[in-house]
Amino acid sequence: MPKTLYDKLWENHVVHQEADGTALLYIDRHLVHEVTSPQAFEGLKLAGRKPWRVSSIVSTPDHNTPTDHWDEGIKDPISRQQVETLDANIREVGALAYFPFKDPRMGILHVVGPENGATLPGMTVVCGDSHTSTHGAFACLAHGIGTSEVEHVLATQCLLQKKSKTMLIAVDGKLGKGVTAKDVALAIIGTIGTAGGTGYAIEFGGSAIRGLSMEGRMTLCNMAIEGGARMGFVAVDDTTINYLKDRPFSPKGEVWERAVEYWRTLHSDAGAQFDRVVTLQAEAIQPQVTWGTSPEMVVAVGAAVPDPAKESDPVKREGMERALQYMGLNPNTPIQNIAIDKVFIGSCTNSRIEDLREAASVLKGRHVAANVKLALAVPGSGLVKRQAEAEGLDKVFIAAGFEWREPGCSMCLAMNADRLEPGERCASTSNRNFEGRQGPGGRTHLVSPAMAAAAAIAGRFADVREVL
Amino acid sequence: MEKFTRLEGLVAPLDRNNVDTDAIIPKQFLKSIKRSGFGPNAFDEWRYMDVGQPGQDNSGRPKNPNFVLNQPRYQGAQVLLTRANFGCGSSREHAPWALLDFGFKAIIAESFADIFFNNCFKNGIVPIVLPAAEIEALFQQVEATPGYKLVVDLQAQAVIRPDGHGVPFQIDAFRKECLLNGWDDIGLTLRHAEKIREFEEKRRINQPWLFA
């Protein structure tokens, strides 16, 4: 019987199965950061247990770390304690790789893993972070877990799982100029809704997806969770294999050849059945801008803020009204009339080299508008930062009026000092526009890096296709 | 983990779709390295008029009178009634920790986000999915009846209304057993340690690149 990619990944990891289908899945890669791990390490210690296989662990602090004045360390004492706790825990138990604060390879875990070749096709990848779905770009079974499960993986190298349903999201055709993976992700979420993927493992397929770079695929899989699916993945092809060649933790020599041979099998077989299939036409996808407090509240840049009066479901209507009130927006306002206060280019969604190149190509020779109080460019890792600097992108950002920062999660969730003040409006390349996400009272509009750059220049949302 | 068998508890209604884990426990409180003490900051941005800080004494903070959980009639609630896609967003287990610390032992919703749903079971909270029509009826009854209580009978897999009407719910057999017995997942898994080791050894031979 033809198998889906999900079937293949699942079957390759089942250690044991209970009568009701609950399975014990073997975990290949465990990514660990400072926010969701301290209680797990403590629990392990209290129970007198040892980590099962420390060579599965890749770790770096990212959520709490500052993005400027690194010479001054971490000023917030509570943040500092959390980062120091990670430091102490990893130094005690060990890891395949640990990039502490200020290490040249430190960065956002979901950028660091892949760029070091620590994320390989066919792996199960888990992390106490919902955006672990990012690693699905490499045909991994990758998803976020809670802290109890972090402890469970540390102690047993396994997770208790029930098999998900499968969804194929096929995007066929060719994306238009200025339309990126982020726009595809937002358009998908706009179509299926933030709960559309609940209970499903999503495979992204179709010619437009195959045409994406690994960076683009990571952006897309990263946002699977915003569509409700814990995991989203893309089949292995030449793009995957070319990306992985010669990365620090990628296999070498004869083992590489063997690995590639296996990786080539990581795709859904012809005729494989999915529980649900959604199709989108690439040419129909426009640059997207969210207007509300859920990623599903999204429209094309040429559209206007929707009118709750036209929504028939009372719970949804009230949700829209509450969102508009929080966002300080009136129904039917054209998206391009909405002025912004801040711009954030970064996060595990959009902080890779290609994202920075896209933004820089829009910013080159232009300047941030006078009404924009702060424009931040935060590379996803030390390696991304140096690569960007080697290409001169830092100079483009700085000349345009952006601040060029050190890597980290930064204003995506504002656990460090980078945040919105109440009422401030931000064009952000991050993944969540929830109330208070970027700072209490802050108003987030999710966009692609190119669209964030276009908004920075115009001081309001603008159609990047008109400035490219 | 504490056992969960049967609960009779006051019900509090949170009439919204898509309540995300950032709303349940905002990020500044995630800096704690403990599992406990999150209750006073559950729903912090909705519950208080000011911006909360970790380590702060919350007793004197101005409360938002319009937030439903601040209403006197819902004090001491153990059952949270809400709508669709509860617990979406971040995987932070601080969300169920905060809800449990606040007093909630069962959450009834039209649907839950996957990671949050999973995290509930690790903490002895029962997440119950009921059809939209049942949820709507419960909202109306809670609204109309001060002191409205529900019985959650896990063994029987039913939510029992004060009028005696029982609404059945589904739960995985394995998860139900774990909740009923308060079993520690890790202990259960380690019973299969030998099997895990064998699996790992085979993997090391067949896919050596995974063990660099």
Distance in Å, alpha carbon of B123 to nearest chain A alpha carbon: 8
Specify the pLDDT at position A185.
Answer: 98
Question: Which two tokens mark B54?
Answer: 């970790």
Strands (E), chain B: 6-14, 79-82, 106-109, 126-129, 149-153, 158-160, 166-168
Full strand arrangement of the beta sheet holding A231-233: A231-233, A200-205, A165-172, A276-281
User: Which of the four pLDDT bands, split at 50, 70 and 90, describes residue A466?
Assistant: very high
**A5-163 and A288-466 have identical folds:** yes
Domain boundaries, chain A: 5-163, 165-236+268-284, 288-466
What is the average pLDDT score of chain A? 97
For residue B95, what is the nearest residue in chain A, using CA coordinates? A146
Which CATH architecture describes the domain A288-466? 2-Layer Sandwich (3.30)
d(CA A368, CA A402): 7
Instruction: Please give the span between the terminal C-alpha atoms of chain A, in angstroms, as a whole number.
Output: 48
Model confidence over A83-100: pLDDT tens digits?
999 999 999 999 999 999
Nearest to B91 among A144, A155, A259 (CB): A144
B167 in any annotated domain:
no
For residue A124, what is the nearest residue in chain B, using CA coordinates? B210
Specify the pLDDT at position B212.
Answer: 78
Model confidence over A134-188: pLDDT tens digits?
999 999 999 999 999 999 999 999 999 999 999 999 999 999 999 999 999 999 9
Taking residues A463-467, what's their average pLDDT?
Answer: 97
Is the separation of the CB atoms in A416 and A66 below 8 Å? yes
Specify the pLDDT at position B2.
Answer: 86
B199 in any annotated domain:
no
B129 DSSP β-pair partners: B109
Model confidence over A407-460: pLDDT tens digits?
999 999 999 999 999 999 999 999 999 999 999 999 999 999 999 999 999 999
Specify the pLDDT at position A348.
Answer: 98
Please say if the pLDDT value at position A221 is more than 90: yes
d(CA A174, CA A208): 6
Decide: helix, strand or coil at residue B102: helix
Nearest to B172 among A20, A130, A158 (CB): A20
Question: Which two tokens mark B80?
Answer: 């949270």
pLDDT tens for chain B, residues 1 to 212: 889 999 999 999 999 999 999 999 999 999 999 999 999 999 999 999 999 999 999 999 999 999 999 999 999 999 999 999 999 999 999 999 999 999 999 999 999 999 999 999 999 999 999 999 999 999 999 999 999 999 999 999 999 999 999 999 999 999 999 999 999 899 999 999 999 999 999 999 999 999 97
Model confidence over A343-375: pLDDT tens digits?
999 999 999 999 999 999 999 999 999 999 999
d(CA B198, CA B210): 16
Q: In terms of residues, how long is chain A? A: 468
A189 vs B contacts (CB less than 8 Å): none
B98 in any annotated domain:
yes
Taking residues A386-404, what's their average pLDDT?
Answer: 98
Is the separation of the CB atoms in A227 and A188 below 8 Å? yes
3-state helix, strand and coil shares in percent for chain A, rounded to the nearest 5? 40, 20, 45
Note the CATH number of domain A5-163: 3.30.499.10
B70 in any annotated domain:
yes
User: Which of the four pLDDT bands, split at 50, 70 and 90, describes residue A334?
Assistant: very high
User: B39-46: which pairs have CB atoms within 8 A and are 24 or more residues apart?
Assistant: B39/B98, B39/B100, B39/B101, B39/B102, B39/B103, B40/B101, B41/B98, B42/B98, B42/B99, B42/B101, B42/B102, B43/B67, B43/B69, B45/A435, B45/A436, B45/A440
Q: Which residue has the tokens 């629990």?
A: A43
Residue A381: partners with Cβ closer than 8 Å, 6 or more residues away: A105, A106, A107, A108, A111, A112, A115, A351, A407
ipTM of the complex: 0.96
Decide: helix, strand or coil at residue A30: strand
d(CA B112, CA B202): 37
Distance in Å, alpha carbon of A209 to nearest chain B alpha carbon: 24
B113/A195 CB distance under 8 A:
yes
A145 vs B contacts (CB less than 8 Å): 91, 115, 118
Question: Which two tokens mark A88?
Answer: 């102490």
Model confidence over A257-292: pLDDT tens digits?
999 999 999 999 999 999 999 999 999 999 999 999
For chain B, the domain total comes to 1
Q: How far is CA A376 from the centre of its chain?
A: 18
* Domain A165-236+268-284 homologous superfamily, CATH: Aconitase, Domain 2 (3.40.1060.10)
A279 DSSP β-pair partners: A170
B35 vs A contacts (CB less than 8 Å): 39, 147
A198/B114 CB distance under 8 A:
yes
Interface of B with A in 129-148 (CB under 8 A): none
A228/B208 CB distance under 8 A:
no
Range of the domain at B43: 9-149
Residue A62: partners with Cβ closer than 8 Å, 6 or more residues away: A33, A34, A106, A107, A108, A109, A407, A408, A409
B26 in any annotated domain:
yes
d(CA A189, CA A333): 22
Output the domain CATH number for residue B105: 3.20.19.10
B174/A319 CB distance under 8 A:
no
B137 in any annotated domain:
yes
Specify the pLDDT at position B1.
Answer: 84
